[in-house]
Amino acid sequence: MLATADALGRLLDAARRVDGRERIGTLDALNRVLAEDVISPLDVPPMHTSSMDGYAVRAADLAGASETAPVALAVSQRIPAGHAAAPLAAGTAARIFTGATVPPGADAVVMQEMTQASDDGRVAFAQTPAAGEWITRQGADIRQGSVILPAGTRLTPQALGLAASVGCAQLEVVRPVRVAIFFTGDELRMPGEPLEPGAIYNSNRFTLRALLAKLGCEVTDLGIVPDRLDATRETLRRAAGDHDLILTCGGVSVGEEDHVKPAVEAEGHISMWQIAMKPGKPLAFGAVRRGAKAGAGAGAGAGAGAGAGAGAEENVAGEAFFIGLPGNPVSSFCTFLLFVRPFLLRLAGVERVAPRVFSMRADFSQKKGDRRNEFLRARVNDAGGLDLFENQSSAVLTSTVWGDGLIDNPPNHAISAGEIVRFIPFSELTR
């Protein structure tokens, strides 16, 4: 069995950024990935600005000012935000407001609470300000010519704000990754349909579609495919055409009703990985030829045999990547979060795809460690520790809603109460 990290490493080694980019409005670019660096054409702020309502002065003009011997200056101009400032006349103060341009010659702002204005148009100061006080210097945030967002950045709300702060109305982004998805299982019904004996609802469709949507993928949902080899192969061929990745759910084990593996082997090549993780275990990775006809010679492209060695997958032109997820709802959820998500982000050009992991205290104990790397559904309690969901079965979807994330528990490791464990919040994994 492969260790989780090794399996992820193999997946990421095969992934490379899709070709194709587009220029879109910054307002529409949330969650997209930058195809090129954003370089600031200006300083931010573009001029020295006041960070207080008060008076702009030359600090030297207030030398020796004190409570007992205040110094009064004439107010020579008034500078609201958004207005130009004239040079500060010697021995005077300028009335100034937050965000307004500091007049040339002034080197400090005194906040209005520290001053005493009088009717004769003068203002008294009881202290000498330090040079630079309450002034945000030109370029303090961003220097003209600097890279403010490197290529490969996934655009958060803050990143959009930063791009806008240097005047970028449009951004060059990677085209969305195109994913075809289908679900195998004769037992699957859609919510809204009646549930005959033996049937269950296709819950994974909802979980996986939502996860893909959050990643900004363009999704073609090919629905539920019957547990038959010909139907599975036919759907794979259809999916390969215009997609970067074909994602399937269920039917990937080695039972007689599991047709995904032989279907992908016939239409491309596959590696089945037994990953030493729980939930999860079987994950299939490979590729499906584009434009291939059933039974066509396997001489070109992803030729026969390529699937024999794990990690030999190459998405040479003319293939769509393939990932087969297990059908159990918690397994498909976890394997998506831990493998498919970073893979898709890498296809989209994101460099840093690992979630942030937090060290947290376990407020429970688990006497026996599993021989596999467990991903336990846990919740943050009011004491700042972690509670464990009582039923960790891979069929119990409730655990994923109750929980706040996954404890990444190494193989053969029992957990004692009070121990510090690795916790990956769902918020990191479902962004």
Interface residue list for Mg ion (CB under 5 A): 185, 250-251
In whole angstroms, give the CA distance from residue 272 to residue 161.
Answer: 43
| Residue 335 Cα distances to 202, 209, 313, 330, angstroms | 17, 14, 19, 8
In whole angstroms, give the CA distance from residue 74 to residue 118.
Answer: 10
In whole angstroms, give the CA distance from residue 293 to residue 233.
Answer: 10
* Smallest separation (angstroms) from ligand AMP to the CB of 335: 11
In the bound state with ligand AMP, the residue whose beta carbon lies nearer, of 22 and 186, is 186
In the bound state with ligand AMP, the residue whose beta carbon lies nearer, of 187 and 234, is 187
70 preceded by a cis bond (ω within 30 of 0): no
* Smallest separation (angstroms) from Mg ion to the CB of 382: 40
The binder of 170, among Mg ion, ligand AMP, none, by C-beta within 5 to 8 A per type, is none
Find the binder of ligand AMP among 188, 215, 245, 323 (CB under 6 A): 188
Answer whether 51's CB lies under 8 Å from 134's CB: yes
Cβ-based burial of 426 (10 A; exposed 0-12, middle 13-18, buried ≥19): middle
In the bound state with Mg ion, the residue whose beta carbon lies nearer, of 250 and 280, is 250
In the bound state with ligand AMP, the residue whose beta carbon lies nearer, of 216 and 329, is 329
Answer whether 71's CB lies under 8 Å from 64's CB: yes
In whole angstroms, give the CA distance from residue 417 to residue 415.
Answer: 7
Find the binder of ligand AMP among 26, 128, 153, 204 (CB under 6 A): 204
Three-state DSSP at 338 gives: helix
Cβ-based burial of 140 (10 A; exposed 0-12, middle 13-18, buried ≥19): middle
* Smallest separation (angstroms) from Mg ion to the CB of 189: 14
Question: How far, in whole angstroms, is CA 147 from its chain's centroid?
Answer: 20
Find the binder of ligand AMP among 183, 273, 375, 389 (CB under 6 A): 183
Residue 85: name the closest of 135, 121, 40 by CA. 135
Find the binder of ligand AMP among 280, 326, 355, 405 (CB under 6 A): 326
* Smallest separation (angstroms) from Mg ion to the CB of 255: 8
In the bound state with ligand AMP, the residue whose beta carbon lies nearer, of 7 and 148, is 7
Q: Is 187 in the site for ligand AMP (CB under 6 A)?
A: yes
* Smallest separation (angstroms) from ligand AMP to the CB of 138: 57
Find the binder of ligand AMP among 27, 130, 147, 200 (CB under 6 A): 200
Taking the CB of residue 27, how many other CB atoms lie within 10 A of it? 11
Q: Is 328 in the site for ligand AMP (CB under 6 A)?
A: yes
Q: Is 272 in the site for ligand AMP (CB under 6 A)?
A: no
Residue 219 β-bridge partners = 179
Cβ-based burial of 130 (10 A; exposed 0-12, middle 13-18, buried ≥19): exposed
* Smallest separation (angstroms) from ligand AMP to the CB of 15: 24
204, amino acid identity? N
- Sign of the C-alpha dihedral, residues 145, 148, 152, 158? negative
The binder of 249, among ligand AMP, Mg ion, none, by C-beta within 5 to 8 A per type, is ligand AMP
* Smallest separation (angstroms) from ligand AMP to the CB of 222: 13
Q: Is 333 in the site for ligand AMP (CB under 6 A)?
A: no
Find the binder of ligand AMP among 77, 144, 203, 398 (CB under 6 A): 203
The binder of 188, among Mg ion, ligand AMP, none, by C-beta within 5 to 8 A per type, is ligand AMP
Answer whether 44's CB lies under 8 Å from 142's CB: yes
* Smallest separation (angstroms) from Mg ion to the CB of 256: 11
Q: Is 127 in the site for ligand AMP (CB under 6 A)?
A: no
Dmax of the chain from CA atoms?
Answer: 98
In the bound state with Mg ion, the residue whose beta carbon lies nearer, of 152 and 250, is 250
Q: What share of the chain is helix, strand, coil (3-state, %, to 5)?
A: 20, 30, 50
* Smallest separation (angstroms) from ligand AMP to the CB of 330: 10
* Binding positions for ligand AMP, rule: CB under 6 A: 183-185, 187-188, 200, 202-205, 249-253, 326-329
